[in-house]
Amino acid sequence: MNGFELRKERKRESIRHAAMELFGTYGFGKVSIKDIARKAGVSHVTIYNHFNSKEELVNDVVRTEIERLVEKSREIIDSESDFLEKMNLIRFSKVGLASRYNGEVMKAAINNSPETYEYIDKLWREKINKLLVELIEEGRRKGYISSDISQEAMLLYFDMIRAGAFASVETLDRIKIDAKLADDLNRLFLYGLIDKKD
């Protein structure tokens, strides 16, 4: 990347950043291109020069965000920690990543145009789920996870928990603040609602 392209990429990044924050706070639908332009300190037409439409900007922002999440998860999975430890880290890493605006971004993404949703969903499955499958496989190999529950169900379960946690910023905030609550939830996630007696 020469100086030219570097400057260009820097401007793109600053637009993306402004967009990300606004999308996170107000949702995709409520944020206008002009809002983003104002926050990024450029003309709104400049946004069209760099990204071709609002939809492309949204896609770009979301892709970037997911890639960051993938990177983080990758590190955890490839680390030397124990399986249960990784499981916690993954879930906490997500939660950790999900600072105020992250949760909102995902939440908004879910509710966007069908096309955008398809796009995000595909990305998610290709990248995040691939990582989770690896983790689950490790769990099975090490005997933590019973093999009579399908991988599909586990992925879905993971997804549901994740979507549930991300559905409300308030939820995330409560989890982050209240350690006992986080611990309880983790236990429910790992060992279920029912008290196995005997």
Partner DNA sequence: AATGAATGAGGGTTCATTCAT
Partner DNA sequence: GATGAATGAACCCTCATTCAT
Q: Does 144 bind its own copies (CB under 8 A)?
A: yes
How many Å is the Cα radius of gyration of the chain?
Answer: 19
Contact between 4 and DNA by CB under 7 A: the answer reads yes
Is there a contact between 163 and 110 (Cβ–Cβ < 8 Å)?
Answer: yes
Closest approach of its own copies to the CB of residue 38, in Å: 14
179 binds its own copies (CB under 8 A): no
d(CA 127, CA 129): 6
Choose the one of DNA, its own copies, none that binds residue 6, judging by a C-beta under 5 to 8 angstroms depending on kind: none
* CA 30 and chain centroid, separation: 20
* Cα-based angle 8, 20, 70 (whole degrees, multiple of 5): 90
Residues 169, 103: contact at Cβ < 8 Å? yes
CA 91 to chain centre: 11
| Letter string b/e over residues 12-44, b meaning 16 or more CB atoms within 10 A of that residue's CB | beebbebbbbbbbeebbeebebebbbebbebee
Binding mask 48-87 for DNA (x = CB under 7 A): xxx-xxxx--------------------------------
Which amino acid is present at 38?
R
When binding is defined by CB under 8 A, the residue of 108, 133, 137, 176 that contacts its own copies is 108
Among 6, 13, 43, 82, binds DNA (CB under 7 A): 43
Under the criterion CB under 8 A, does residue 150 sit at the interface with its own copies?
Answer: yes
| Residues that bind its own copies in the complex, under the rule CB under 8 A | 27, 29-30, 84, 87, 107-108, 110-111, 113, 121, 139, 143-146, 149-150, 152-154, 156-157, 159-165, 167-168, 171, 174, 180-181, 184-185, 187-198
> Which residues lie near DNA (CB under 7 A)?
3-4, 7-8, 11, 31-35, 42-46, 48-50, 52-55
